[in-house]
Amino acid sequence: MRKWIAGCGALALLAFGSVRAQVTPAAGYTPPDDTPTVKVGTVIFTDYTYTDEPTTVDAAGNEVKPKGFNVTRAYINVTGTITHLFSFRVTPDITRETGVGSSLTGSLDYRLKFAYGQFNADQWMGKGTWLRLGDQPTPYIDFIDSVYRYRFQGPTVTDREGFLVSADFGLAGHYNFPKNFGDVMVGVYNGEGYQKAEANNQQAIQVRGTLRPVPLGGIFSGLRVTAFYDDDAPVDGGKRNRFVGALTFEHKYVNAGVEWLDNEDQLLPTSPNVKSDGYSVWVTPRTSFGLEGLLRYDSLKPDKNADAKKDRTIAGVSWWWLGQTTPIQAALMLDYEKVGYDEALAKPDEKRYALHALFQY
């Protein structure tokens, strides 16, 4: 009897084990890939620039027109995933050492540009939903650069004129609207930019919302309307506020944009409240075989109460070897840039000719 009971028990266990072994995930379910990954890439901006105006004086007292080779960006991008929920990025960049008395004066030194961790909430709130903590891209410049694509010639107007920075320390979240209608990004940042430590107890709140009015296809699917606001202060009682409105268009044969900016700066509660505004218009017509052009005009009024403005004109032609929208890119660009200042600004006009190059992997 005992042998019979033991045999029945063994059969029952074997059958139970067989049933368990045959249990499979629900049809159509693909478990997330939690294999850790690490990728290394690079971005290089390099150029040869001839400055026609203004001239300068060399060590021998000769009046000269500066010209030379330079590297303005050399990223080493280290990105990776820890699980499908957590990813990261670390990016050092170069800057020219300008300190006095250092043996490194004039050298290109590496500094930290990006270093953040990211929590991905795709499985609950849709693809492209995340939270980031650390030194990270700011909401507007990261967006507009992805459309403009000519940062290797020079930044867009808000960055080039010093109103916004491309990276800062903070906490930010991003959400894509359903059916490709746009996205929104909100962040709290130090406000001083990645080049500086936080100076006081004031943080910046930055919000960018982008709407794609016709998202479902056709020629107007590349049209987007964007509004951005930065509420910040250099000190308690001061002001460092920014508003940018942008209309952008992306197409196989042309990208174009119009940006309008309005700024308010008050360094101290007792300082004057300086309001400035301006706009930028640019278009990048392109072909299917790599040839592309750039036309851009910026106009800035540094003080609305003063009758003086600054303008910039850029014209160039470029050749993209490895695709104009792929992550791996190589491009050369010949361009002309002129910056004009009204007499009241008391600055000499600028005129430059340059060969710019982009290498990205």
Q: Which of 122, 115, 129 is nearest to 170 (CA)?
A: 115
More confident residue, 82 or 219: 82
More confident residue, 32 or 150: 150
Q: What are 315-333's pLDDT values in tens digits? A: 999 999 876 667 789 999 9
Q: What are 292-318's pLDDT values in tens digits? A: 999 999 999 999 999 999 999 999 999
Contact 131, 119 (CB under 8 A): yes
Instruction: Count the residues in the chain.
Output: 361
Q: What are 91-124's pLDDT values in tens digits? A: 999 888 877 667 777 788 889 999 999 999 998 9
pLDDT, the chain, mean: 90
What confidence score (pLDDT) does residue 34 get?
85
Identify the structural domains of the chain with CATH numbers, from first to last: 39-360 (2.40.160.10)
- Say if residue 22's pLDDT is above 70: no
What confidence score (pLDDT) does residue 57 get?
95
C-alpha 64: how far from its chain's center?
36
Q: Residue 183: CA atoms inside 13 Å, Cβ hemisphere, count?
A: 16
* 28 band by pLDDT with thresholds 50, 70 and 90: low
Q: What are 174-193's pLDDT values in tens digits? A: 999 999 999 999 999 999 99
Element (H, E) at 334: strand 329-341
